[in-house]
Amino acid sequence: MRLLCFIIASGLVLLMAPAGYSQGALETPLHINARDVILDEFGEVLRGSATAPGDLVQVLRAEDGVIFPPAVDGRPHSSNPLMDRGTAGIGKFMPLSQTRPGKFGLSLGGLARPVESTKLFIRVFNAPTLAEASFYADSELLTVKGNSVLMAGIGRTTNALDKADDDGDGLNNSWEKSYESDPGNADTDGDGMLDGDEHLAGTSPTDEGSEFVVARISRGRLSWKSALGRRYQIQRADAAGGEYVNIGDVVDADPVLDETEIDIPDGAGSGMGFYRVKLVIE
């Protein structure tokens, strides 16, 4: 009788022990969730759904508590090994009803559950595989503590895997991959504007119809294709081959439309000169 009481008592002690001590006995999986919607380098929500997990998510160990950048091909640094079952996709474990997920949830259970005090972080890529990826983002350093759920803040995948600019056009190799432009040709679409300049202007480096042109002059108003956040300077010349001079102040792009329209400065009317719009690079 005395022995039986002792066994019950020790069982209670085990259950009431701190979570870190009892985690092995309880076998509770470690849950890791994205805190916010994750955006890619273009500001678009990362792709993937509950039924078809998409862009690549990795759980990496930070052995010395240090996060190192990946290699050019996306492989993790040797001090940040991929954890057992530490691969997932955007959309995993998200409710089916969620139409714009951009998040993930994953669980590491059984033998894959990291032990107490393990330091880890989440790395998210802008594509489902390393071969397709060009940009990534890392969460902050996370520490396994009892049974608490780890909430990973990722932000945007704006870290370039390949920062080199092989053709010197101002666009690094990662952006060339994102745009599907040619990393060995400074003006991929041959429209006279360098790939890097097209990136700054918000035009497409792979579409010769997407360049920087005056779209319309009508009744003393000038309109052109513009991109949010860009600033422009209007210039005028008396003849097509003449010298262009700045007229008016620098103009901010229309914040809503993909075109900006203004009164032609200095009261110059249509047909009285040649105009062009220059992107202001600051």
> Which residue sits closest to Ca ion, CB atoms considered?
195
Chain centre to alpha carbon of residue 56: 12
Q: Does 191 bind Ca ion (CB under 5 A)?
A: yes
Pull the structure tokens for residue 228.
């949010």
Question: Closest approach of Cβ 154 to Ca ion, in Å?
Answer: 27
Task: By CB under 5 A, tell whether 160 contacts Ca ion.
Answer: no
Minimal distance, residue 204 CB to Ca ion, in Å: 5
CB of 166 to Ca ion, least distance (A): 6
165 is an interface residue for Ca ion by CB under 5 A: yes
Binding-site member from 47, 128, 167, 199 for Ca ion (CB under 5 A): 167
With CB under 5 A as the contact rule, the residue among 137, 169, 275, 277 that binds Ca ion is: 169
Q: Which residues contact 238 (CB under 8 A, 6 or more apart)?
A: 273, 274
- Kindly state the number of chain residues that form the binding site for Ca ion, as judged by CB under 5 A: 13
**Are the C-beta atoms of 94 and 101 separated by less than 8 Å?**
yes
Give the contacts of 130 (CB within 8 A, at least 6 positions apart): 56, 73, 74, 75
The site map against Ca ion for 197-226 (x = CB under 5 A) is -x-----------xx---------------
φ, ψ of residue 173 to 5 degrees: the values are -60, -30
Residue closer to Ca ion, measured from CB, 227 or 262: 227
- 82, 98 Cβ separation under 8 angstroms: no
Does residue 195 bind Ca ion (CB under 5 A)?
Answer: yes
Q: Are 157 and 43 in contact (CB under 8 A)?
A: no
- Dihedral (Cα; 197, 200, 202, 208), 10-degree rounding: 10
Buried b (16+ CB within 10 A) or exposed e, 63-99: eeeebeebeeebebeeebeebeebebbbbbbbeeeee
- CA gap 29, 256 in Å, rounded: 46
Minimal distance, residue 173 CB to Ca ion, in Å: 6
Q: Which of 30, 39, 193, 217 binds Ca ion (CB under 5 A)?
A: 193
Using the minimum distance from each CB to Ca ion, give the nearer residue, 55 or 197.
197
Q: Interface with Ca ion includes 162 (CB under 5 A)?
A: no
Binding residues for Ca ion (CB under 5 A)? 165, 167, 169, 171, 181, 187, 189, 191, 193, 195, 198, 210-211
